[in-house]
Amino acid sequence: MSCRFFGAYLSRSGNLRIKFHNPISLTNFLNPKSPKSKPIQPFPRNPTFFSSSSKMGDARRPLSANIPPPDKAERLELLRSLEFSLNSSFSSEPLLPKPSPLIIVISGPSGVGKDAVIKRLREVREGLHFVVTATSRSMRPGEVDGEDYYFVSKEEFLAMIERNELLEYALVYGDYKGIPKRQIREFMAQGFDIVLRVDIQGAETLRKILGKSAVFVFLMAESELKLVERLIDRKTETKESLLVRVATAREEVRHVKNFDYVVVNAEGKLENAAKLVGSIIDAEKAKVWQRNASV
């Protein structure tokens, strides 16, 4: 759609008219159902410009008659005379409403650095809420309830499923893990963007639930070798789980096509990866067509 602004003139009735360069585009813009137009969604971040209706009586008088020469007049005088000519004052209210809160899903193969990137984002970026997952597994030494996970009994977890309190849940190695909806709702209502960290299967499920209303970011290592080295160096896996994670990672890379963005977390370049995720969030905030997630 191209609605190029062409000019303004006074109609016989004294109304200020805006002329578009391409009348067909204007028809499409005003009437999305027009057969020549593609379907257009409602414009969610509608700029609030000053009113274009003018009550000036004399249609033949040039619009600029009351405006002093800009090189001689004071700014305030020019402002007032422009307002007078347009018969409307300039508002200092923001032209755009605030962008809607985002849901950002960060996923990727085991060992790619999801936790590391999120930890860095947490340090450098405000306005994000990192969702704490609920789990039925028991607390490990050093873990803090409400920080690492919300630790609940298996019965309580099953009751949460029954009450439809979880956005997504899975049974992982005998333990339940799930994303509490209430936490997301509460923080979104306060204007926070929401960060969810899930494995590839979780991301696939969330895509089905949230569709395009959320942003899906796939974290990738620069090579398969680097990913495996990272997992080995972390020294958290048994030989069996190492094999499973590496074999799964090979398969998981194919799922990248279902994501919106891919970020390479290269060796020693964690800072760059976190920055790129931050830039993705910034770009999403600047979108005209905002994603409007609701949970």
Q: Residues interacting with ligand ATP, by CB under 6 A?
A: 108, 110-116, 230, 234, 265, 267-270
Closest distance of CB 265 from ligand ATP, Å? 5
From residue 66, how far is each of 69, 127, 147, 157, 208 by CA, in Å?
10, 47, 64, 72, 59
Based on CB atoms, which residue is closest to ligand ATP, 101 or 109? 109
Residue nearest to ligand ATP (CB): 113
Give me the catalytic one of 75, 140, 163, 254: 140
Give me the catalytic one of 245, 250, 254, 291: 245
3-state class (DSSP) for residue 216:
strand
Based on CB atoms, which residue is closest to ligand ATP, 106 or 293? 106
234 given a catalytic annotation: yes
Question: Token pair of 239, please?
Answer: 């030989």
Give me the catalytic one of 234, 250, 254, 291: 234
Residue 177 near residue 133, CB atoms below 8 Å: yes
Based on CB atoms, which residue is closest to ligand ATP, 153 or 236? 236
Residue 217 near residue 105, CB atoms below 8 Å: yes
CA distance 252 to 77: 65
Based on CB atoms, which residue is closest to ligand ATP, 73 or 270? 270
Closest distance of CB 22 from ligand ATP, Å? 49
245 given a catalytic annotation: yes
Own/partner long-range contacts of 197-200 (Cβ < 8 Å, ≥24 apart): 197/106, 197/107, 197/114, 197/115, 197/118, 197/130, 197/131, 197/133, 198/105, 198/106, 198/107, 198/168, 199/107, 199/110, 200/107, 200/108, 200/109, 200/252, 200/255
Closest distance of CB 160 from ligand ATP, Å? 23
140 given a catalytic annotation: yes
Catalytically annotated residues: 140, 234, 245
